Structure 1
């Protein structure tokens, strides 16, 4: 356990959930939670109603990197500054303004919210230096319940079991192949790979992303089945990383996503610039 996990265990997850979530995402599991949330959003594109809307607007196709940056920055402004802070409230208002222009079902909104709760827990169970404690899971639930309420999402589950059940039931009912899934999923996959690989090598990295996907997700995206040895290799590499993290000292400085340089905003950004806007 680290100094950050020790602090977390002194806090009340039903009251101090924003502080706990900040410690988890900026210190204790900073890289893991970022990757898990990337994968969570990626996973939502396997639902035709979600990928179909993104394809229909055309924004994701035309400005893939900017849409990725805007989403990550808006969510990070909230988690790093607080939901009721000036910047956090402004970010939530921007999110609500964008969503309010389209007829998005409560079920789809609730599913996206559920992935933010369950995917980090699942990721850490598979690849983390440790699993989340009950205090940490409870804090994440309260954090996203509060955020979901500010986004006017209804019927939000009250505990992890209910979130997990809703998430699995939604995927069983809604995951199926669609051309828009393949379009948005492929754009996102290649964007994420381009952050680590030169453009010419991106095609070589695609099987690695497919290996991190489960069979229903691959099928809904139209992704090729990866070779079994690649799945084993990735799992081994990520578990070796987890072992190494257990013996390394805790992070001293926060890993703040909002402070990162981005090609979409080479000179920095203003909150009012993030997202999409009504056409005049």
Structure 2
């Protein structure tokens, strides 16, 4: 039996087996960074995200999916790593913030897919291997191991200490909440912001100062995204 390299198992999950779920999870990971005032301030300061949220989010997603597909150590991967490193040399972006962004972009797609269809142990191990390679390529200290559960626990501790409401975070959330329209069936697209809010957990709702949606909307959002592939 041929054993896939770790990267291939993660790439197969994200690009082929559950691409829509992975995209929603990646978008949620992107959104999660807005709850950290320091990150929100840097993103808002560029002006590009608020003025063109769809283009910015699409570019971020395309970059991460290309990196997952090609691998960190490939020629395209090295070019993307160099671009990521340049983007994160902006003033105010400390190494710990970069580690958190990396964790969001790895853990959130896997966890969203796991909740809405399942992820195998091999795919989780592959995701962990991918983020470890990317952290090393970016010169960052390794995230906790030996698996994604350890990183998720580290994220919760980081978020408890660093999540806080901020005008920048709220503005960024309002700018990008409509992006979930592309993941919804046509008739539901106009309700994208409400469906997006239904996907937020309590820490994010507190940071963005949005109320918890009614149970029927939460149930409908869960059903819609569970049916996605």
Normalising by structure 1, what TM-score? 0.73
Gaps of 5+ in 1: 1-6, 246-280
Q: 1:60 to 1:229 in 2, by over 3 A?
A: same
**1:166 is the counterpart of 2:154:** yes
For this pair of structures, how many residues does the alignment match?
226
Per the alignment, in what secondary structure is the counterpart of residue 181 of structure 1?
A: helix
The reply on whether 1:25 has 2:14 as its aligned counterpart is yes
* Off by >3 Å, runs of 4+ in structure 1: 194-198, 236-239
**1:270 aligned partner:** none
Matched with 1:52 is 41
2:78 equivalent to 1:86: no
1:205 counterpart residue number: 192
Q: Per-residue deviation at 1:196? A: 5.4
Note the C-alpha offset of 1:41: 0.9
Residue 126 of structure 2 corresponds to residue 139 of structure 1: yes
Matching of residue 184 in structure 1 with residue 176 in structure 2: no
Q: Name the CA distance, whole Å, in 2 between partners of 1:125 and 1:87.
A: 28
2-side partners of 1:106 and 1:174: how far apart?
Answer: 14
CA positional deviation for 1:194:
6.3
Deviation at 1:84, TM superposition (A): 2.1
Q: What runs of 5+ residues in structure 2 fail to find an aligned partner? A: none
Instruction: Please tell me whether the aligned partners of residues 117 and 163 of structure 1 are also in contact (alpha carbons under 8 angstroms).
Output: no
TM-score w.r.t. length of structure 2: 0.88
* 1:155-180 Cα deviation digits (max 9, x unpaired): 42222232011111011111121111
Give the equivalent residue in structure 2 for 1:40. 29
Corresponding residue SS for 1:190: helix
Q: Which moved more, 1:101-110 or 1:160-169?
A: 101-110
Answer yes or no: is the 8 Å Cα contact 2:36–2:164 preserved in 1: yes
Residues 11 and 20 in structure 1, CA contact (< 8 A), matched pair in contact too: no
More helix by share: 2
Contact residue 25 and residue 33 of structure 1 kept, 8 A: yes
Q: Which residue does the alignment assign to 1:118?
A: 107
